[in-house]
Structures are given as structure tokens and as C-alpha cells.
Amino acid sequence: MQRIVSGMRPTGKLHLGHYLGVIDNWVKLQNEYECYFFVADWHALTTKYDKTENLRQDILDITMDWLASGVDPEKSTIYVQSQIPEIAELHLYLSMITPQNWVERDPTLKDMAKILKSKEGMTSQINYGLMGYPVLMTADILMFKADFVPVGIDQVAHVELTRDIARRFNNVYNCDFFKEPQPKLNNCSLICGLDGNKMGKSFNNDIKISDTAEITAKKVMSAITDRSRMRKDDPGHPDDCEVAFKYWKIFGSNDEINTVKEECEKGLRGCADCKRQLGAKINERMAEIREKRKYYEQNPKLVIDILNLGADKARKEAQQILKEVKNLVKMY
Ligand code: TRP
Ligand code: SF4
């Protein structure tokens, strides 16, 4: 079976953008591929090395979001990056054969320097670890010999670098050891935020997987609609309804979408009622996931056991690969 490797940095509870664009896709991939999904906690340190108070909770939170959404430890190997020290060791070998200008040309590095600069108390300085971020990501991927790497568009350059480094390793050590993985694009722009901009936790426009039905309903009531509509019996324009109708198109059945469109255009549907129904619709879709998440929240030991089991499995595999790498490099 072909292999998938993908990771996410633990940045707090996931929202519907992550769920629809990334996780729901992972859940489907599990049936066709051998999947390795991990929490990239070392990658979190590349920018937040000084803000680690919540790191452990963030790791558990993201894992609970995955498990609740249907990422299945029976099918996939789920672990925390730092539980596999072999990845750090592989990173070291790869760093030796990676020319400095290959990492310097990384486009996201420049963006990150800008973000760091804009944060209070931070300098624009790029630390050694952040510089090596794409090489570490390469180690994540090559460690498990991935065929495909599901990533967002901003991460494709890193997978390209992974291919370059894999090829270089094979050349330098005169072998055919690492295969060159392919990026597999996530559908990240599936859902916009409640204000019509990109959904993101720092924009305060998101709906979390872990939000309750009440909070979700309330948030949906704040979604932007057709701004030209003054009274509820004015004819509306679903195509200009910036957020609410877009959500209907994601969460409603074809029949429901048609009904909403028709009633809106004829002025038979007020926006408040429309959004009340929409909130209920979204809650319907998320109910089972939230139920499952609550179960894991109440049994964190289960989550920890799942991560430990996944890490044991991944580590065995990683040890084998690393042994072969060391042989090829001719280490002692
Ligand atoms: N760099 C990715 C991000 O910030 C996370 C990541 C780390 C990753 N290692 C990976 C993704 C390996 C795919 C494969 O989103
Ligand atoms: Fe949008 Fe519904 Fe209002 Fe029409 S009735 S503008 S679809 S929220």
C-alpha cells in the first residue's frame, strides 16, 4: 500500500476550515493509504519556543479534534513528532547534505520573519531552528518513506525541497534509498470565516469543531448575509449573500439549497430565520463529532494511550530506517 505522511502544528483547537479542508480528507485517505499523522510539536517550537505553557494541552486538543473527526488509530498511525527522536537524528544527517541556499530560498521563511517582527517582544531574527524548519519537515516525510504528502498550498515548496534532498542523498551516498514524495493539495479555501474573510482563529471569525451547539448557533447568527437587503420581505440575492448562503451550499442538501435560494429571492425568507435553520443544519452535521470529542475530553488517558501506541509503532519503523541511513553514510 502507498504511504501518506502529514502533520499539523499544535496551534490550539481546530475550526471548520481545518475540518472540511484537511481532516475530513485525511479520514477518507485512511481507507486507501497507509497513513502517518503526527502533531508537529518541534515545528511549533521554531516560532514559539518561548511560549510553551499550553503546548501539552494544545497537543491533546488537536489529537482529540482528529480522533473525534474520524481519524482512526486502528487504520492510521498517530503520534507526536517529539516522541520519535529518530526524526531529529535523521534531520541531522539530512542537514549535512543540504546546501545553505536551498533553505534560504524558502519563501515561507521570509513571511515568517515578517510575522515574527510584527509580534510584540519578538525580533525579526531567524533562529537556527527556524532556518532548518524545511529540513526537519523533510525528515518527517522521509523517515516513513511517504509516497504522498497532503499539504496546503503554502507548504508545497517544502515538499519540493524534500524531493531535492531525497535525490541528493541518493546521489551523495550512491544509493536508491529515499523515494521522492509528491505533494497532495488540501482544499483549504472550502469555507470562509463568519465575516467573509479567510477563516482563522486569530481573526475571531471561526467556528471550532469543539464549539457547543449553542455557541455555534450564536456564531452563525453573526454571519454576513446579502448586505443590500433591508427588510426581511425584500427579495434577497443568494449569490451576494457573502457567508450564510455559502455555508448552505456546504452543509445543505441540494433540495434545501434550492428551497433557500427560491424563498430568499422571492422575499419569503428572512435572514434571521434563515441563519437559525443554518445553525441547526451545521449542528446536525457536527453532533456526532462533538459527542465523540466530549468523550475523549472526559477520558484524556485514552488519548495519551493512543498517542503512545502510535509512537511505539512509528518508532520501530523509524529505527529500522535510521539504521539503514547510518549504514549508507558509513557511520560507526
Ligand atoms: N509545516 C507544516 C505546517 O506548518 C506542518 C508539517 C510539519 C508537515 N512536518 C510535516 C506537514 C510533514 C506535512 C508533512 O503546516
Ligand atoms: Fe442569505 Fe438566507 Fe438572507 Fe437569503 S435569506 S440573504 S440566503 S441569509
Full-model pTM: 0.94
Q: What pLDDT does residue 233 have? A: 86
131: CA distance to ligand 1 center in Å? 14
Domain positions in the chain: 3-191+300-329, 211-292
Q: Where are the alpha helices (DSSP H) in 149-198?
A: 156-172
Out of 243, 274, 282, give the residue to mutate to test ligand 2, the one with the largest number of ligand atoms within 8 Å of its CB. Answer: 274
Count of Cβ atoms closer than 10 Å to residue 67 Cβ:
21
Most confident of 101-110, 187-196, 270-279: 270-279
Cβ within 8 Å of residue 105, ≥6 positions away? none
Whether 155 shows a pLDDT value over 90: the answer reads yes
Q: Is the CB of 26 under 6 A from ligand 2?
A: no
The pLDDT of 228-255, averaged and rounded, is: 93
Whether 292 shows a pLDDT value over 90: the answer reads yes
Closest atom of ligand 2 to 240 CA is 6
User: Residue 152 — very low, low, confident or very high, per pLDDT cuts 50/70/90?
Assistant: very high
24: CA distance to ligand 2 center in Å? 27
238: CA distance to ligand 2 center in Å? 6
**Radius of gyration of the chain, Cα coordinates, nearest whole angstrom:** 22
Q: What pLDDT does residue 89 have? A: 98
Q: What pLDDT does residue 121 have? A: 59
Q: Is the CB of 238 under 6 A from ligand 2?
A: yes
Q: What pLDDT does residue 106 have? A: 84
- Give the architecture (CATH level 2) of 211-292: Orthogonal Bundle (1.10)
pLDDT above 70 as % of the chain: 97
Nearest Cα neighbor of 200 from 9, 7, 6, 11 is: 11
- How many helices, marked H, and strands, marked E, lie in the chain? 15, 5
User: Residue 255 — very low, low, confident or very high, per pLDDT cuts 50/70/90?
Assistant: very high
The SS3 call for residue 191 is coil
Q: Is the CB of 229 under 6 A from ligand 2?
A: yes
Q: Of all helices (H) and strands (E), which one includes residue 118?
A: helix 107-118
278: CA distance to ligand 1 center in Å? 33
The SS3 call for residue 154 is helix
CATH topology of 3-191+300-329 equal to that of 211-292? no
Q: What pLDDT does residue 110 have? A: 75
- Choice between 231 and 81, residue whose per-residue pLDDT is larger: 81
CATH of domain 3-191+300-329: 3.40.50.620
What ligand is nearest to the CA atom of residue 258? 2
pLDDT above 90 as % of the chain: 86
Closest atom of ligand 1 to 137 CA is 9
Interval 53-92: pLDDT, tens: 999 999 999 999 999 999 999 999 999 999 999 999 999 9
Count of Cβ atoms closer than 10 Å to residue 240 Cβ:
12
In whole numbers, what is the pLDDT of the chain averaged over residues?
A: 94
Q: What is the DSSP letter of 224?
A: -
Whether 188 shows a pLDDT value over 80: the answer reads no
Give the Cα separation of 139 and 171 in Å (integer). Answer: 17
Per residue, the 3-state secondary structure of 267-332, as one string, reads CCCCHHHHHHHHHHHHHHHHHHHHHHHHHHHHCHHHHHHHHHHHHHHHHHHHHHHHHHHHHHHCCC
Give the Cα separation of 177 and 169 in Å (integer). Answer: 8
The SS3 call for residue 59 is helix
CB 40 within 8 A of CB 47: no
Interval 13-43: pLDDT, tens: 999 999 999 999 999 999 999 999 999 999 9
User: Residue 123 — very low, low, confident or very high, per pLDDT cuts 50/70/90?
Assistant: low
Q: Do the strands 3-8 and 34-39 form a parallel or antiparallel pair, or are they unpaired?
A: parallel
Q: Is the CB of 264 under 6 A from ligand 2?
A: yes
Q: What pLDDT does residue 245 have? A: 97
255: CA distance to ligand 2 center in Å? 16
